[in-house]
Amino acid sequence: MAVKKKENKSYGRGANLPNAQSEQKDDVQSRYQQDFNRYQAQIERTRRVFESAEAA
């Protein structure tokens, strides 16, 4: 899945304001959190497949 390049939202708002920086950081944080959750779900599914194969 390709990462869509986000539009630069900083102009017209004062890119050097500290809250613009923190908003960008939160954005990155949430994207990493989503990736992490997706990978964790994938691991969980894989583990269940192996457990059911062992039980069979």
Residues in contact with 27: Cβ distance below 8 Å, sequence separation at least 6, in sequence order? 6
Residue type, 29: Q
Q: What tokens appear for 36 in the block? A: 């992490």
pLDDT at 2 over 80: no
CB 20 within 8 A of CB 10: yes
pLDDT at 51 over 60: yes
Q: What's the pTM value of the predicted model, to 2 decimals? A: 0.47
pLDDT at 14: 56
pLDDT at 15: 56
pLDDT at 9 over 60: no
At 10-41, the pLDDT tens digits run: 555 555 656 666 777 888 889 999 999 999 99
